[in-house]
């Protein structure tokens, strides 16, 4: 029997995008287009001066810049690979695929940002782009996500049956909720804290644009999870829910380790523990977004992080919003 659905769709033509079934996916595409940017639009002049100056930055500030460039430079590519080599294969719905193509393009823009930063600051690319192998707290984060999701890269893998659909959801949990939704956020907070002190403002602005993109990516991923679960309710067992909560909890431990490693003594009155509290606050938001219970119950220690994206949201999102499409109703900006 032919079956319609966001995965395992055999009822409709994957190349026929109209009429659309998942209007929220189209809304993400329009929002992504409205956020268009490229790294070269941002001047690196001040950053270059500060990077070359013997006094503008402390050794600890330099370290956290390098650690974050190192982590993000390859995390973007791991994420892109997952979209193109795994998610796209199994989500054959055309409006979702249109957004996945947009997301993949944005990951290329993000990778381009780290090329631009390496070039502008004269950093050794081998040093930066190998940090996901050479720096243990970065390597552990990437390995955690990659190891969670190896099975679905098997060319014979199909999203058929409860256990395989759960495997596929674990991939989405790994890349959207954990990689983009948790592992990116200590770094975002550190780089934006630097920018607030007028340090490395060019990179800081690029990180703001990346964060704005990522907030859409991870919200799309969570909506994808929610839709798969709604259409395949058998997969959402108590055991499976507990497994996801446990994975988020483990990821938070790794992100705490990373934050304390990248920024051991804190920054401008922010102590290192506050970065960890911020990560816990974000982890709870990811859990809530897929209907799972919160773990940490921490207030956001950095309300200015929400403001940073709110400003750009008003400038670039709501003014250009297309209203004839149903909104996702839950587009979140951090
Ligand atoms: Mn990205
Ligand atoms: Fe992303």
Chain segment 12-33, per-residue pLDDT in tens: 888 999 999 999 999 999 999 9
Task: Kindly tell me the burial class for residue 300, based on how many C-beta atoms sit within 10 Å of its own C-beta (0-12, 13-18, 19 or more).
Answer: middle
Whether 8 contacts 159, CB under 8 Å: yes
Residue 186: C-alpha distances to residues 100, 128, 212, 314 (Å): 25, 18, 15, 24
Whether 97 contacts 88, CB under 8 Å: yes
- Residue 310's pLDDT is 54
- Average pLDDT (182-186) is 95
Task: Point out the ligand nearest to the CA of residue 109.
Answer: 1
Task: Tell me, in angstroms, the distance from the centre of ligand 1 to residue 83's CA.
Answer: 11
**Rounded (5°) CA angle 84-186-276:** 130
Whether 260 contacts 276, CB under 8 Å: yes
35 domain residue, yes or no: no
pLDDT over 90 (residue 150)? no
- Average pLDDT (108-129) is 95
Mean per-residue pLDDT of the chain: 90
pLDDT over 70 (residue 283)? yes
28 domain residue, yes or no: no
100 domain residue, yes or no: no
3-state secondary structure of 4: coil
3-state secondary structure of 101: helix
Task: Tell me, in angstroms, the distance from the centre of ligand 1 to residue 267's CA.
Answer: 25
- Residue 314's pLDDT is 43
- Indicate which residues carry an active-site annotation: 116
- Average pLDDT (38-44) is 96
Task: Tell me, in angstroms, the distance from the centre of ligand 2 to residue 31's CA.
Answer: 14
Residue 72: C-alpha distances to residues 13, 125, 126, 285 (Å): 37, 13, 14, 22
- Looking at residue 55, the DSSP 8-state letter turns out to be S
- Residue 269 domain boundaries: 58-89+108-312
Beta bridge partners of 154: none
- Residue 265's pLDDT is 81
- Looking at residue 180, the DSSP 8-state letter turns out to be I
Task: Point out the ligand nearest to the CA of residue 215.
Answer: 2
- Residue 28's pLDDT is 97
Task: Tell me, in angstroms, the distance from the centre of ligand 2 to residue 213's CA.
Answer: 7
Closest CA to 260 of 270, 250, 247: 270
Task: Point out the ligand nearest to the CA of residue 28.
Answer: 2
- Average pLDDT (114-130) is 94
- Average pLDDT (98-117) is 97
Residue 140: C-alpha distances to residues 137, 209, 257, 258, 265 (Å): 5, 26, 10, 9, 21
Q: What is the pTM of this model?
A: 0.91
Give the pLDDT band (50/70/90) at residue 321. Answer: very low
Task: Point out the ligand nearest to the CA of residue 175.
Answer: 2
User: Which residues are CB-neighbours of 321 under 8 A, at least 6 positions away?
Assistant: 30, 31, 34, 327
Q: What is the CATH number of the domain that holds 63?
A: 1.10.620.20
Residue 216: C-alpha distances to residues 32, 141, 159, 177, 178 (Å): 7, 21, 25, 12, 14
Task: Point out the ligand nearest to the CA of residue 73.
Answer: 1
Q: How far apart are CA 104 and CA 217, in angstroms?
A: 10
76 domain residue, yes or no: yes
303 domain residue, yes or no: yes
306 domain residue, yes or no: yes
Task: Tell me, in angstroms, the distance from the centre of ligand 2 to residue 54's CA.
Answer: 34
Task: Tell me, in angstroms, the distance from the centre of ligand 1 to residue 197's CA.
Answer: 24
Whether 121 contacts 44, CB under 8 Å: yes
72 domain residue, yes or no: yes
Number of separate domains in the chain: 1
- Residue of 102 and 309 predicted with greater confidence: 102
- Residue 317's pLDDT is 42
Residue 158: C-alpha distances to residues 22, 99, 166, 251 (Å): 22, 22, 11, 27
H and E: helices and strands count for the chain: 14, 0
53 domain residue, yes or no: no
Whether 221 contacts 175, CB under 8 Å: yes
- Residue 241's pLDDT is 98
- Average pLDDT (35-62) is 95
Task: Tell me, in angstroms, the distance from the centre of ligand 2 to residue 138's CA.
Answer: 17
Task: Tell me, in angstroms, the distance from the centre of ligand 2 to residue 103's CA.
Answer: 7
């Amino acid at each position: 029997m032919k079956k319609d659905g966001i995965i395992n769709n055999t009822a409709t033509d994957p190349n026929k995008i109209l009429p659309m079934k998942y209007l929220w996916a189209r809304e993400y595409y329009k929002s992504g287009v409205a956020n268009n940017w490229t790294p070269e639009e941002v001047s690196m002049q001040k950053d270059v001066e500060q990077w070359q100056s013997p006094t503008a930055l402390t050794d600890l500030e330099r370290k956290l810049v390098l650690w974050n460039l190192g982590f993000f430079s390859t995390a973007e590519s791991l994420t892109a690979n997952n979209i193109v080599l795994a998610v796209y294969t199994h989500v054959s719905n055309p409006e979702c695929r249109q957004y996945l193509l947009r997301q993949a393009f944005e990951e290329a823009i993000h990778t381009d940002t780290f090329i631009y930063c390496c070039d502008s600051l004269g950093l050794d690319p081998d040093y930066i782009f190998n940090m996901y192998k050479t720096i243990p707290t970065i390597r552990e984060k990437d390995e955690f996500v990659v190891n969670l999701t190896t099975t679905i890269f098997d060319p014979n893998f199909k999203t058929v049956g409860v256990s395989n659909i759960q495997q596929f959801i674990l991939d989405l949990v790994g890349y959207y909720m954990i990689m983009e939704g948790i592992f990116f956020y200590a770094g975002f907070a550190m780089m934006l804290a630097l920018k607030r002190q007028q340090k490395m403002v060019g990179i800081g602005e690029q990180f703001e644009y990346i964060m704005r993109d990522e907030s859409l990516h991870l919200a799309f991923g969570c909506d994808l999870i929610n839709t798969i679960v709604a259409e395949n309710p058998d997969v959402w067992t108590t055991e499976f829910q507990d497994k996801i909560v446990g994975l988020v909890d483990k990821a938070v431990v790794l992100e705490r380790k990373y934050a304390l490693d990248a920024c051991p003594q804190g920054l401008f009155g922010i102590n290192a523990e506050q970065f960890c509290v911020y990560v816990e606050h974000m982890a709870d938001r990811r859990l809530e977004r897929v209907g799972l219970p919160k773990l940490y119950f921490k207030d956001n220690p950095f309300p200015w992080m929400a403001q940073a994206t709110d400003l750009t949201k008003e400038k670039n999102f709501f003014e250009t919003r297309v209203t004839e499409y149903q909104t996702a109703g839950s587009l979140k900006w951090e």
